[in-house]
Chain A
Amino acid sequence: MLVSRSIRVISGAIAGGLIVALMPSTAFAYSENNRTVSCDTAYTTSLVTLYGDGTLSYSQVDTSPDTNRYAWAVSDLGDSFPLRALVDQQNTKWFSAPARNWTFKTRIVQNKNCNGISPGNGNTALDYQAFVI
């Protein structure tokens, strides 16, 4: 019994090692998520921080209510790729990023009342995807 369990553990470890070995050696980080973000230009939201170099990719999958939003990425040293304005279903890429922790950020392009008769501009539900490839 003990022997068979040991064999299972060892064969599992070998299989795991194979999977790791077959994984591409290039850095790849991905995040798909949803966040409640502001409809007021005064508020920026840091969405996610991903480590890597090469190409940064960001998609504004959906906002509800619909909003036109800036997206950009800032490194942990404060260096930044330029802002891009996106609507739903739009994607943008930034190239030649050095190896850093990149924080994807978003802010609405223009104030929009997402709040009906309630005070302030309110929020929108954002679905997004972010990659470092």
Chain B
Amino acid sequence: MPSVERVPASSGSRKVYLRVFGRICAIILVAAVAGCADSRADMPSSSDPVFVGLDRSVVEEVLSSPVAQDRVAGDAPEVARSRYQGMVRNFVLCRSALAAYQSWLREGQAPPLPEQPEPLNPASSAASIARATNTIESLLASGDIELLRNELTNTAGCGEWIPASPGDLAGPTISDVVRGGQLGKDDG
């Protein structure tokens, strides 16, 4: 009778068990990662290339803003980076528009909008900031200060959530200041 070499049953089945166990672990890991895919977006650092050319203090202000963080919640990382760049530029533009509005109130004449900073690496939000800048410029040229006031107090506009004073995240928004009739420049 030929001798048959027997592989220990425990060794072979252990390999099978380990393989199955490994696959189950992999499936659980994939499911866990998929489950987290809609969690809060990763925040870029202030030295991220998307912010080159923009004011560092505004970048840090936006990155530390709980409202801004909420606005990127659920975004894919690249979308979040683009939106963060858009928000930094929106902070600068909206505060420029507020300053122009207050100057218009004080002096009775609309000033020109200061030149806006351009990032070295414009994100996909660049087209929207260009449109928003054109809108503010056309409102300043309109001769009707009420139109600019409406823009800055619009429910879905920049004035509704951007703080009027740089770094004052808990302070009044641009919309609050416009509604309050504050003239700026020490409210003289």
On whether A79 and B125 interact (CB within 8 A), knowing A37-B38, A44-B74, A45-B74, the answer reads: no
Query: Contacts of B39 on A, CB cut-off 8 Å?
Result: 42-44
Q: Are A45 and B38 in contact (CB under 8 A)?
A: yes
Q: Are B128 and A82 in contact (CB under 8 A)?
A: no
Given contacts A44-B73, A103-B75, contact A78 B68 (CB under 8 A): yes
In the complex, how many angstroms separate the beta carbon of B159 from the nearest chain A beta carbon? 9
A30 at the interface (CB under 8 A from B): no
In the complex, identify which listed stretch (B3-11, B50-58, B85-93) lies at the interface while the others stay far away: B85-93
Which of A42, A78, A97, A123 touches B71 (beta carbons < 8 Å)? Answer: A78
Chain B binder among A2-10, A14-22, A59-67, A69-77: A69-77
Shortest CB-to-CB span from A95 to chain B, Å, is: 9
Asked if A81 and B38 make an inter-chain contact with CB atoms under 8 angstroms apart, the answer reads: no
Q: Given A45-B74, A76-B124, A79-B90, decide whether A103 and B38 contact each other with a Cβ distance below 8 A.
A: no
The answer to whether B40 has its CB under 8 Å from any CB of chain A is yes
Stretch at the interface among B76-84, B99-107, B140-148: B76-84
Complex CA distance for A100 and B125, rounded to whole angstroms: 8
Report the stretch among B113-121, B129-137, B177-185 that lies at the interface. B129-137
Q: How far is it, in angstroms, between the C-alpha of A101 and the C-alpha of B128 when the chains are bound?
A: 8
Residue B171 is within 8 A (CB to CB) of chain A in the complex: no
A42 and B156 CA atoms in complex are apart in Å by 24
Q: How far is the CA of A75 from the CA of B135 in the complex (A)?
A: 16
The answer to the question of B158 belonging to the interface, with a C-beta cut-off of 8 Å to chain A, is yes
Taking CB atoms, residues of chain B closer than 8 Å to A94 are 156
Main SS of the interface on chain A?
Answer: strand
User: What are 28 sample pairs from A and B whose C-beta atoms fall under 8 A apart?
Assistant: A37-B38, A38-B35, A42-B39, A43-B39, A44-B73, A46-B75, A46-B79, A74-B83, A75-B86, A76-B82, A76-B125, A76-B128, A77-B83, A77-B87, A77-B90, A77-B128, A78-B71, A78-B86, A78-B90, A79-B90, A79-B158, A79-B161, A81-B155, A94-B156, A96-B156, A98-B131, A99-B128, A101-B125
| Nearest Cβ on chain A to B176's Cβ, whole angstroms | 16
**A99 CA to B131 CA in the complex, in Å?**
8
- B128 → chain A closest CB, angstroms: 5
* A106 to B, closest residue via Cβ: B74
Taking beta carbons and an 8 Å cutoff, which residues of A are in contact with B? 36-38, 42-46, 49, 74-82, 94, 96-101, 103, 105, 107, 120, 123
Complex Cα spacing A32 to B83, Å? 23
Q: Which B residues form the contact surface with A (CB < 8 A)? A: 34-35, 38-40, 68, 70-71, 73-76, 79, 82-83, 86-87, 89-90, 124-125, 128-129, 131-132, 135, 154-158, 160-161
- Residues of A near B75 (CB, < 8 A) are 46, 103
The answer to whether B132 and A44 touch across the interface, beta carbons within 8 angstroms, is: no
Nearest first, the 8 A-B pairs at minimum CB distance are A78-B87, A44-B73, A76-B125, A44-B74, A45-B38, A46-B74, A77-B90, A77-B86
A74 to B39, CA, bound (A): 16
Chain B, residue nearest A45 (CB): B38
